[in-house]
Chains A and B, each alone.
Chain A
């Protein structure tokens, strides 16, 4: 199934226009970012709204490491001018480092407190991007991303000109394959992780922090590592976004973007590789699809004419989809597929809880005892029989 999808995706550059390939590239970037967030939220149970921040670290990190020292207008831009591949790796590591630096805070906070604290990172990041690190980021107007190249092969429109089966392979076609390859690798790593020792530890940490600790999992260390790996994924997504946009501006990386990613993993399915990808494609492509076909859809007016435009329609649909999925499909879209097959490892069952409640932290009984339970629930002092 997954192999077939990959083959289909690999054939797409021969059929799709560059607009759709560009959209696809953003979908791949979002898939990797959503996997990163899902690793943290769906698999480890650590709520984070800081995704936009780590995306920014990846995107701007790439621009800075690969960018040259230039002067645009009044602003002197600094840059290291490293080879793009090195810059991309460094940007991913930088995002990982940022995640690691945040993890002591994450280690102390739980559930919704962690979620809101992570919002702080977004605003702090915006402030840094716009006001503080202007030579590195270009401030409000942002800065350009160098075209990518790997071992001398450039992912630009030319140099060398490339034709495959009479189709010109420009930047979007080349980046499409880069995005596809990275998405597949990221997905495989995530899947393997879920099936191995660290994945088990993270999932138990999600289901019951206390139980995982008592079974020998170093909770603080695992939270930190989950943050590290997650933010590296998201940083990689940021690099791809920068390559797709070719120019990054700070406005992109606000709280809305974080909310988008959270929506992706909830819509797709928490803790699921396939769910991350489905959600990422849905949320990323929806506005563009509606925009393209707005003239064919009744009730939608062209931009600037006052009525409901395509971008608004996309927002409505998006909002309603979030509400609808949570109300009627608590396991996300993947739960639909799951009914027909075996549940992949690591995916929470529909309606199962990510333990992020602030008041009840520990394991509630999975099932009610078959017979009467003579022991009343513990009181708030944690005193039990």
Chain B
């Protein structure tokens, strides 16, 4: 049973269903029978302390790791067993946590890589600059520029990515992923290392992307302010297991989630929003990210999580 949703430009955005996925590395279970469903067009966050398996989960979704067991279905299409480039061809795009752009190439060339699976120019047509190669290049360059415009990168198109600020590089990552015209966008810690202002910009951007393109966004993020502010649904992992899955409000009230974040000793705060007394002094979570004005009760960020080995 697959629900579908019509995106703005007439592309079908299917549901993403993760079923009993297990990933083992040399005896360690990085993911242990994890199941969750991402509704079409949702902004879905995956959270959890360091080492919880969030990145592993993304690596399975994008085909970098192969699941030991379980299945990942994107609409009717089974993703496990596919190679990364095949998954990309199905409209799954990913922005990397540790920026994986080509530092020496310009922003525009990096974005054009996103057009790779949508274009055909090969070694002959490209090397000889045949007319069809030039036409194709022109057409797709125009679209890449549009996307750059959307992400406010137009004035940086000619600059090598390596010299941009960290926040700009993060946005180029997202822009490159969008250039693949995805139906499912995976954002791996899109605001990690960003300052409050950059974080706010990114939050607005993610919401705009969903609004403009109607695509599904799955994000891994540590910034609870951002997650609780923009996510429709939150999946919480801890030590490779799924411990909660629900709306932000449900997840925040979940006793096991709070225990996972604060350790066994922590008491469940009686009042939502009250700062729990963690073993380590917890910095106030950034609420600046939530564009909706509603102040959200937020969990302490993962940085205050004391026992978990990274």
Q: A residues touching B (Cβ–Cβ < 8 Å)? A: 189-190, 192-193, 195-201, 203-204, 206-208, 210-219, 225, 229, 343, 345-349, 352, 362-376, 378-379, 381-385
Contacts and interface: CB of A to CB of B under 8 A. Distances in A.
Interface in B60-105: 62-65, 83-85, 87-89, 93-94, 96-105
Interface residues of B, number: 75
27 contacts: A189-B128, A195-B126, A196-B127, A196-B129, A196-B137, A197-B112, A197-B122, A199-B126, A207-B101, A208-B102, A214-B62, A214-B85, A215-B113, A216-B88, A217-B113, A217-B116, A219-B85, A349-B162, A370-B165, A374-B301, A374-B303, A382-B25, A383-B28, A384-B51, A384-B54, A385-B49, A385-B302
Contacts of A198: 121-123, 126-127
B119 interface: yes
B172 to A, nearest CB: 10
A385 B54 contact: yes
Contacts of B85: 213-219
Interface stretch (B192-200, B241-249, B268-276): B192-200
Contact of B55 (A214, A343, A345, A384): A384
B125 to A, nearest CB: 8
A365 B195 CA distance: 17
Interface in B172-198: 176, 180, 189, 192-195
B93 to A, nearest CB: 8
B222 interface: yes
A375 B50 contact: yes
Nearest to A202: B123
Contacts of B106: 345
B28 A367 contact: no
Contacts of B99: 363, 365-367
Given A196-B121, A215-B176, A370-B165, 12 more contacts: A211-B100, A213-B84, A216-B88, A345-B106, A348-B104, A362-B100, A366-B103, A378-B55, A381-B26, A382-B65, A384-B97, A385-B52
Contact of A216 (B53, B89, B122): B89
A32 to B, nearest CB: 14
Contact of A200 (B49, B64, B113, B192): B113
A363 B83 contact: no
Contacts of A216: 85, 88-89, 116-117, 180
B117 A200 contact: no
A189 B114 CA distance: 23
Nearest to B52: A385
